Amino acid sequence: MGSRILVFLVVALIQVCTTPAVTNNDDFNALKALKDIWENVPPSWVGSDPCGSRWDGILCTNSRVTSITLASMGLKGTLSGDISNLSELQILDLSYNPELSGPLPPAIGDLKKLTSLILVSCRFSGPIPDTIGSLPQLTYLSLNSNGFTGSIPPSLGNLDKLYWLDLADNRLTGNIPVSTGTTPGLDLLVHTKHFHFGFNQLSGHIPPKLFSSGMVLIHVLLESNKLTGSIPSTLGLVKSLEVVRLDNNSLAGPVPSNINNLTSVSEMYLSNNVLTGPLPNLTGMDLLTYLDMSNNSFEATDFPPWFSTLQSLTTLLVDNPVCQETGVTERYCSVPQTESSYSTPLNNCVASLCFANQISSPNCKCAFPYTGLLKFRAPSFSNLENNTYYTVLEKSLMNSFKLHQLPVDSVNLSHPRKDSSTYLVLNLQVFPFGQDRFNRTGISSIGFVLSNQTFKPPSLFGPFFFIGDAYLNFAGEVTGSKKSSNTGVIIGAVAGGSVLLLLLLGAGLYAHRQKKRAEKATEQNNPFAQWESNMSIGGVPQLKGARNFSFEELRKYSNNFSETNDIGSGGYGNVYRGVLPTGELIAIKRAQQGSMQGGLEFKTEIELLSRVHHKNVVSLLGFCFDRGEQMLVYEFVPNGSLMESLSGKTGIRLDWVRRLKVALGAARGLAYLHELANPPIIHRDIKSSNILLDERLNAKVADFGLSKPMGDSEKGHLTHVTTQVKGTMGYMDPEYYMTQQLTEKSDVYSFGVVMLELLTGKRPIEKGKYVVREVKTALDRAKYLYNLGELLDSSIGLDTTLKGLDKFVDVALKCVEENGSDRPTMGEVVKEIENILQLAGLNPNADSASTSASYDDASKGNAKHPYIFSKDAFDYSGGFPVAKVEPL
């Protein structure tokens, strides 16, 4: 026995001393080659194991480098073709390193798994490699603010997964490429949402073929180029557009009349061209808040009366002949303000007297902030003296940093001004939390949140980009004696190795004794044992659509289920916010003891819920059945619940059009659960707090599980699923009190109550009054607004025409009929609301950011995060991929 122990110790010692590096050898050699040609690499880039020793800015999965994020690191040098050897690389962000220069290597096209290529505000030059068009997984391409020359590669049209294309602020020339019979072009990018090509030297006409009705573009930014010809009428086919910038070119002729069809556009810039003809009729653009047509040659015709009907519209007509006519208000013909003296105020403290180079934060703490410029490309306001805008932006920034658990104490915004391009520019300072300077991880994380558009500013600021400064005061980088440092490492290694050997010995003996006992217990108590067994031998389980998380993973992602990440609670238990290693936000529902099910029942639940995939239903990403815990992991929906928005808690104002779209989205989600989920699901607790709003205010139905098959007495078969939740007072189907059964029509009744909430802004039962009874009592179809004026929510926009209000009220009241047989199905409700939107002159098949053909549009690649989407199903044996970026 003693000899065996001795042999064991010797073998263990050899293994400890010869433990191989974690990092794949090809990946290490590629990073070493970059390190050799770059100056100012992070000090942690030492040794031969970037994954094992955690080089700053490097993330690995299974020994392979999958992400490089080195924003604002002060790197100097070029990008060599060695980068192509990182065959598993998915994210490359080298933004805000202005000393990175030279051409991009064509070999970058060999990174076939790359999803995000972000090189904002460096000094790269030369042509954009054609080979970028051969990156099949690329979703985010941001090369803006460099010195690229030559033409836009037509090969970019091959990037059929691309959502974000930003080539602005370079020196690109030539025509905008469109496809021919033999070459691709940008017109093929039908899934792309952003064309940002401003501040280049592009010339020629805007090709009519560039735009088509099948596109989902929301931003077309072509400002400050050398474009000629007319505005193509095909632009009016892209109904999803929200921001259009064609200013500072040489476009001529009249504005196409079908531009009026762009009912989702909020900002449109046509200034500084040579446009002629009468002022366009834009009466159909109900959401338009900023229109700049200054410095053109529009005819001096009668002033369009529709200008005054859009009270929130800022219109600029400076230097047009129409401004010379009498009776034209100065409001439209005066030069707007260009700067403000705003600076973030101190938070009830006295500014500190700081040492050299330190700056006092709004919380009066001396520190070295991370600095840069925020540039907003299409703000919807011109009054720069309204400080409310900036305080809202500050809160939005801090909320984003907190959501991502970044070490930020406060932010300072200062000196808002409009530059020559009418961009709104603000100085930004980000102050560290808990110390006077950031470490490298903090800076690269903040830089990535701003460079890949994870931060979503308030909509009135429009699209933005950030130009970060190099950060030179990193924490914990004081260099000591090399000799003493090495001695310490040796002593530590010896001591650590000895302890490790003892632990290995004890653990091995204990594990051997417990092995069979543990295996037997697992088989008896864990219904997921077969899945886990398959995973351990590399097999793929049959179940797709959800991931099996361990307890340790979810504890790590939620910061040990910390109080700061506790975002709600209910009958099932608490809900925690979490952040995956990819940056994707998740919501973790952790069951409390009294609400747990048996293992087999819980497994059945997961199998059922994992089949639900629809853009208007909150997606189940995974689950945890570990250490006696039952947890469900859902996508995180950032803008809270409809109830919170209606109550004013979120600061989101829902006008009439937005409320119609929220109602349609929620109806589509619920109709999908009833009619197309497999098996169909009855929600049983529809209410405004269970309808969540994503970053574009699209509605998502939540809390439809846990669920169980209905028995024969309930439905006569087992094809429908109903949740265990028993409903909420005020939303409950009256028939339930007699039958003690909830059906699809019970959900319809609850949805009708939600529709009345959308109308009134009131809770179902408020101050002893029941909203259904209040509406029915006041209703008089012969009177204006059905005699509901005093009940309607004032923020709905009572000073505007509420198109379709009567039809909406009629549908809501059909839903809350006393007898279930008199209520419509949710499919019928969807069709009714679609008709209402059409009567209101709106496109029911387009929300504020994307197009959905019908309520049965099962989502594939849904947004799981404001700017990130992932696969619609995950194998249990697989891990989460590095996030694919979907800017909106």
Q: What digits encode the pLDDT tens for the residues 529-562? A: 544 444 333 332 345 567 889 999 999 998 888 8
For the chain, the 3-state helix, strand and coil shares in percent, each to the nearest 5, are 30, 20, 50
Looking at the structure of the chain, the number of domains it has is 4
Query: Quick one: what percent of the chain has pLDDT higher than 90?
Result: 44
Q: H-type helices in 429-481, by residue range?
A: 440-451
Quick one: pLDDT at residue 782? 83
Whether 511 is covered by a domain: the verdict is no
Going by pLDDT thresholds of 50, 70 and 90, the confidence category of residue 16 is very low
Domain residues for the domain of 804 are 548-869
The candidate with the shortest Cα–Cα distance to 342, out of 383, 371, 375, 384, is 384
Quick one: pLDDT at residue 740? 74
pLDDT surpasses 70 at 674: yes
Which residue is associated with the tokens 């009270």?
311
Are residues 707 and 633 both part of a single domain? yes
The most confident of 565-569, 689-693, 784-788, by mean pLDDT = 689-693
Average pLDDT over residues 107-135: 96
Going by pLDDT thresholds of 50, 70 and 90, the confidence category of residue 876 is very low
Quick one: pLDDT at residue 232? 96
Classify 758 in phi/psi space as left (phi over 0), alpha (psi -120 to 50) or beta: alpha
| Residue 588 · residue 554 · CB < 8 Å | yes
| Residue 421 · residue 199 · CB < 8 Å | yes
Q: What does the DSSP 8-state code read for residue 556?
A: H
Going by pLDDT thresholds of 50, 70 and 90, the confidence category of residue 509 is low
Q: Which of residues 61 and 309 earns the better pLDDT score?
A: 61
| Residue 853 · residue 512 · CB < 8 Å | no
Q: Provide CB contacts within 8 A for 139, sequence distance 6+.
A: 115, 116, 161, 162, 163, 164, 869, 884, 885, 886
- Counting every residue, how long is the chain? 888
pLDDT tens string 192-224: 999 999 999 999 999 999 999 999 999 999 999
Kindly calculate the radius of gyration of the chain based on its CA atoms and give it in whole angstroms: 30
Q: What does the DSSP 8-state code read for residue 216?
A: -
What 3-state class would DSSP assign to 129? coil
pLDDT surpasses 60 at 148: yes
Q: Provide CB contacts within 8 A for 613, sequence distance 6+.
A: 545, 619, 858, 859, 860, 862, 872, 873
Are residues 613 and 720 both part of a single domain? yes
802: which 2 tokens?
């509420």
| Residue 320 · residue 271 · CB < 8 Å | no
Q: Which of residues 567 and 103 earns the better pLDDT score?
A: 103
Classify 725 in phi/psi space as left (phi over 0), alpha (psi -120 to 50) or beta: beta
Query: CA-to-CA distance for 757 and 654, rounded, in angstroms?
Result: 12
- Residues labelled as active-site residues: 685
Largest CA distance in the chain: 108
DSSP assignment string, 149-179 = EEPPPGGGGG-TT--EEE--SSEEEEPPP--
Are residues 718 and 584 both part of a single domain? yes
Whether 608 is covered by a domain: the verdict is yes
| Residue 148 · residue 79 · CB < 8 Å | no
The candidate with the shortest Cα–Cα distance to 192, out of 224, 256, 238, 247, is 238
Are residues 688 and 587 both part of a single domain? yes
| Residue 372 · residue 410 · CB < 8 Å | no
Residue type, 387: N
Average pLDDT over residues 412-425: 85
Strands (E), 90-163: 91-93, 99-103, 116-118, 123-127, 140-142, 147-150
pLDDT surpasses 70 at 872: no
The most confident of 51-60, 114-123, 628-637, 679-688, by mean pLDDT = 114-123
pLDDT surpasses 50 at 482: no
**What is the C-alpha end-to-end distance of the chain, expressed in Å?**
67
Are residues 249 and 284 both part of a single domain? yes
| Residue 192 · residue 217 · CB < 8 Å | yes
Going by pLDDT thresholds of 50, 70 and 90, the confidence category of residue 322 is low
Quick one: pLDDT at residue 500? 56
**Beta strands 699-701 and 691-693, pairing class:** antiparallel
pLDDT tens string 803-835: 889 999 999 999 999 999 999 999 999 999 999
Burial class (CB in 10 A: 0-12, 13-18, 19+), 355: exposed
383: which 2 tokens?
């009054």
pLDDT surpasses 50 at 516: no
- Bond before 679 cis per omega within 30 degrees: yes
| Residue 795 · residue 761 · CB < 8 Å | yes
pLDDT surpasses 80 at 301: no
Average pLDDT over residues 642-648: 88
Query: CA-to-CA distance for 637 and 575, rounded, in angstroms?
Result: 12
Q: Which of residues 470 and 151 earns the better pLDDT score?
A: 151
The crossing angle, in degrees rounded to 10, of helices 826-839 and 656-675 is: 150
Quick one: pLDDT at residue 110? 96
Quick one: pLDDT at residue 507? 57
Query: CA-to-CA distance for 403 and 467, rounded, in angstroms?
Result: 22
Cα dihedral value 86, 87, 88, 89, nearest 10: 50
Are residues 384 and 297 both part of a single domain? no
Strand partners, 60: 65
pLDDT tens string 679-691: 888 988 899 999 9
Are residues 636 and 712 both part of a single domain? yes
Query: CA-to-CA distance for 398 and 505, rounded, in angstroms?
Result: 49
Q: What is the CATH number of the domain that holds 559?
A: 1.10.510.10
Q: What is the CATH number of the domain that holds 171?
A: 3.80.10.10
Whether 264 is covered by a domain: the verdict is yes
Which of 289, 320, 351 terminates a domain? The answer is 320
The candidate with the shortest Cα–Cα distance to 875, out of 543, 526, 536, is 543
Query: CA-to-CA distance for 785 and 802, rounded, in angstroms?
Result: 9
pLDDT tens string 26-39: 999 999 999 999 99
Quick one: pLDDT at residue 317? 62
Whether 521 is covered by a domain: the verdict is no
pLDDT surpasses 60 at 426: yes
Q: What is the torsional sign of CA 755, 756, 762, 765?
A: negative
Classify 39 in phi/psi space as left (phi over 0), alpha (psi -120 to 50) or beta: beta
831 assigned binding-site residue: no
Quick one: pLDDT at residue 827? 95
| Residue 290 · residue 378 · CB < 8 Å | yes
- Bond before 706 cis per omega within 30 degrees: yes
Quick one: pLDDT at residue 723? 40
Are residues 827 and 678 both part of a single domain? yes
Query: CA-to-CA distance for 46 and 113, rounded, in angstroms?
Result: 27
Residue type, 845: N
Going by pLDDT thresholds of 50, 70 and 90, the confidence category of residue 601 is low
Whether 18 is covered by a domain: the verdict is no
812: which 2 tokens?
């809501």
Query: CA-to-CA distance for 661 and 510, rounded, in angstroms?
Result: 61
| Residue 680 · residue 719 · CB < 8 Å | yes
Whether 132 is covered by a domain: the verdict is yes
Are residues 384 and 259 both part of a single domain? no
Query: CA-to-CA distance for 622 and 605, rounded, in angstroms?
Result: 11
Which of 136, 169, 195 terminates a domain? The answer is 195
Q: In the predicted model, what is the mean pLDDT of the chain?
A: 80
Are residues 166 and 303 both part of a single domain? no
Which of 768-783 are b and which e, b meaning 16 or more Cβ less than 10 Å from the residue's Cβ?
eebbbebbeeeeeeee
The candidate with the shortest Cα–Cα distance to 437, out of 359, 353, 349, 344, is 359
Residue 387 sits at the vertex; the CA angle it makes with 382 and 391, to the nearest 5 degrees, is 120
Average pLDDT over residues 18-29: 77
Average pLDDT over residues 571-592: 84
Number of neighbouring beta carbons within 10 Å of residue 357: 9
Residue 65 sits at the vertex; the CA angle it makes with 122 and 155, to the nearest 5 degrees, is 55
Residue 213 sits at the vertex; the CA angle it makes with 207 and 216, to the nearest 5 degrees, is 95
pLDDT surpasses 80 at 88: yes
Are residues 128 and 40 both part of a single domain? yes
Going by pLDDT thresholds of 50, 70 and 90, the confidence category of residue 524 is very low
Number of neighbouring beta carbons within 10 Å of residue 220: 24
Going by pLDDT thresholds of 50, 70 and 90, the confidence category of residue 298 is confident
Query: Quick one: what percent of the chain has pLDDT higher than 70?
Result: 75
Whether 438 is covered by a domain: the verdict is yes
Whether 508 is covered by a domain: the verdict is no
Quick one: pLDDT at residue 204? 96
pLDDT surpasses 80 at 475: no
Average pLDDT over residues 471-489: 52
pLDDT tens string 252-284: 999 999 999 999 998 999 988 999 988 888 888
Quick one: pLDDT at residue 308? 63
pLDDT tens string 697-737: 899 998 865 443 333 333 333 334 444 445 788 898 888 77
Burial class (CB in 10 A: 0-12, 13-18, 19+), 704: buried
The most confident of 482-496, 708-722, 834-848, by mean pLDDT = 834-848
| Residue 267 · residue 244 · CB < 8 Å | yes
Q: What does the DSSP 8-state code read for residue 730?
A: T
Q: Which of residues 543 and 116 earns the better pLDDT score?
A: 116
Are residues 69 and 124 both part of a single domain? yes
Burial class (CB in 10 A: 0-12, 13-18, 19+), 359: middle
